[in-house]
Structure 1
Amino acid sequence: MGWTDMGNASGSLDTADLDGTLVPPWYYEAPPRLTDMFLATFIWGFTIAIAAFSCTKAVRQTYRSWTRSHRLNAYIVMIWLEWTSCVATTATSWLFLENFINPSVWYFTGMLCMWTIQVQCLTQIMTNRIALIMYNPDRAIKLKWAVGIAIGIINITVFCIWVPARLQISPAYIRANQIWDRAEKCIFLIIDGFLNGYFMYLIRTKLIANGLDKYKLVYRFNLVMVVFSLSLDVMVIGLMSLPDDDVCLSHQTPHRDEHSRALGEGTQNVDPSPQLSCRPQSLLRQQPSRRRLSPHHV
């Protein structure tokens, strides 16, 4: 059956068959295994614990800033936006894996909105940190605008590619997402490395070189954290090359119960659904996984 024959008799999508808003009838779920769900739940709990610790620190910083100036500066606003978007992303991702949220254009778009807030706030926090020790305010403003525009262009391209790929609109979108997902993470790695490297350079040349030896410990600590952070970015890019997220055998349909997307470890494969049998072979070979929900990492 051709690609144009997958809708109803007239060639258009039958909205009665959609699982969610703008989800095509040939949409196929690749549910995670039960062990993956256990791991995701453990990581979610660990994330919530760290979020609670981060929240207390953000509250203290907000209180100190408010007592000094009686207003909220840009840094305070960005750290709360960053914290809120991260918590919202991890919560909705877990609910999605547990089948409380169905796939739809609204869910995937919402995840991208949260991801956009995260990367924009994170990079602007880094540029604000650089601006504190950059003696040229004009250069600091230009740096903020340059980083913001570059990240914004990446955000727009991800919106145009990632959502259609997650909705499995066509094999072309899925293939484009496989390529661009790795490319944009490499771009983020370069931007992250540049901002952190420039910050370390300014500490060494503007502070330590002028006799402020108390910043040596700060310099060494941040150097270790920068290496650790960049290593995690490289690891994420490497994990994306694993074949598990991109392979879906056309002759196997994982068993799932009616309550969760998780797979049992010892379950047998059952016959493919009628919708699966009419999907193009290129989609069956390039099926995106539901386990990695964010484009950054989301």
Structure 2
Amino acid sequence: SRFTVYGPFVDQYTYQIHPITCGDLITAYVVFGLAMCFAILAVFIACQQTQRSRVPLKSLYVWMIWLEIVASLGLALLAFSYLIKVLRPSLYFYLGIVVSQLRVIYQVQILLQIICNRINVILQDQKKGTLLCIGTFVLVSIINVSVGIIWIPACLQISDRRVVFLAVVWIRVNTIWDRTEKVLFFLLDAALNWYFVRVVKRNLIGNGMEKYRPLVRFNQRMILISLLMDLLIIGAMSLHNGFVYAMFHPLAYLVKLNIEMSMANLIMKIVVGT
């Protein structure tokens, strides 16, 4: 078969390619189609928000939303191309998947920074908001770097013939840490969104600005959907094919990005009083 591993650091005789079943392909096509629908919607909203920005090239928010869209599309195309056997497994392929998620740091980093930016807009203490952004950036960066260090050797099934158990160790550590990482991001996402609602209630509604109450109600509903996306990724980890599981990441991230951009639109409408 032409669909074999190639490139450095992998042994084409011992490398095991996970079989791709009909069920895997059906799931991949459905998830890829949904991801493309949300990508189109995200591009539409992003174009509107970019046009409204006075200096889009200097806007950190504009850069973050476009980088998130590009990163999500890159990961979706790479994983889908592998599943339909257009791309073969190799060091370059796995590095491509990691690089496709690197926009600022990673996709999750961008989404969480957008939430921090939303909180920072409302916080009265800007120093506290800056520390929140930096603290989130450092924490997520540490987690993402550790994931990259563990994930690539596990996927390449790297091992020395003299130390056969090394590949097994990488794979087991990757399995445990991957799940731990997703739970940590779930908790961090929930904490930041809860803090946003708390800040709005205390700093705005608590001071008689009742026009922000719809923002709180909308955010509380969207938090549920956003956290469901995190749970969707965690649930997809039970799938036997890791690349089908990877397809759920772009879908979840694009849904969450649409939520964040819709939140930004609502905040703008409330602020201008329309």
Using structure 1 for the length normalisation, give the TM-score. 0.73
CA distance in 1, matches of 2:21, 2:45: 36
Q: 1:146 aligns with which of 130, 135, 156?
A: 135
Cα deviation digits, residues 10-37 of structure 1 (max 9, x gap):
xxxxxxx952342223111112211321
Distance 1:142 1:200 in 2: 18
Query: Deviation at 1:103?
Result: 0.8
Partner of 1:94: 80
Partner residue in 2 for 1:119: 108
Q: Is the 8 A contact 2:109 2:140 kept in 1?
A: yes
Q: CA offsets, 1:99-139, max 9 Å, x none?
A: 11111122212212333431221111111111000111111
Residue 75 (str. 1) matches residue 28 (str. 2) = no
Question: Please, what is the CA RMSD of the aligned residues?
Answer: 2.2
Q: In 2, distance between residues paired with 1:109 and 1:70?
A: 30
The SS at the match of 2:123 is: coil
Q: 1:227 to 1:293 in 2, by over 3 A?
A: closer
TM-score with structure 2 setting the length:
0.79
The structure with the larger Rg is: 1
Q: Secondary structure at the match of 2:210?
A: coil
CA 1:44–1:201 in 2, change beyond 3 Å: closer, same or farther?
same
Change (3 A) 1:156 1:292: same
Q: Give CA-to-partner distance per residue, 1:18-72, whole Å, 9 cap, x none.
A: 523422231111122113212211221221122111101101110110xx34653
**Counterpart secondary structure, 2:58:** coil
Residue 23 (structure 2) aligned to one of 35, 38, 45? 35
Partner of 1:22: 9
Residue of structure 2 equivalent to 1:109: 95
Distance 1:99 1:63, change over 3 A: same
Richer in helix (by share): 2
- For residues 198 and 220 of structure 1, the distance between their equivalents in structure 2, rounded to whole angstroms, comes to 14
Q: Distance in 1 between matches of 2:57 and 2:23?
A: 47
Matched residue, 1:293 = 246
Cα offset for 1:295? 10
Residue type at the aligned position of 1:182:
R
Structure 2 gap ranges (5+): 159-166, 254-274
Q: Which runs of 5+ in 1 are unaligned?
A: 1-16, 246-287
Query: How has the CA–CA distance of structure 1 residues 213 and 99 changed in structure 2, closer, same or farther, with 3 Å as cutoff?
Result: same
Shift of 1:296: 6.2
Query: Of the candidates 128, 147, 172, which is equivalent to residue 169 of structure 2?
Result: 172
Residues of 2 paired with 1:39 and 1:294: CA distance? Answer: 9
Identity of aligned residues (%): 33
Q: Does the aligned pair in 2 maintain the 1:127–1:195 contact within 8 Å?
A: yes
Query: 2:256 matched to which residue of 1?
Result: none
Compare 114-123 and 210-219 and name the one that shifted more: 114-123
Pick aligned residue for 2:196 from 192, 196, 199:
199
3-state SS, counterpart of residue 65 of structure 2: helix
Q: In 2, distance between residues paired with 1:230 and 1:42?
A: 21
**Counterpart residue number, 2:187:** 190
Structure 1 CA distance for aligned equivalents of residues 203 and 153 of structure 2 = 47
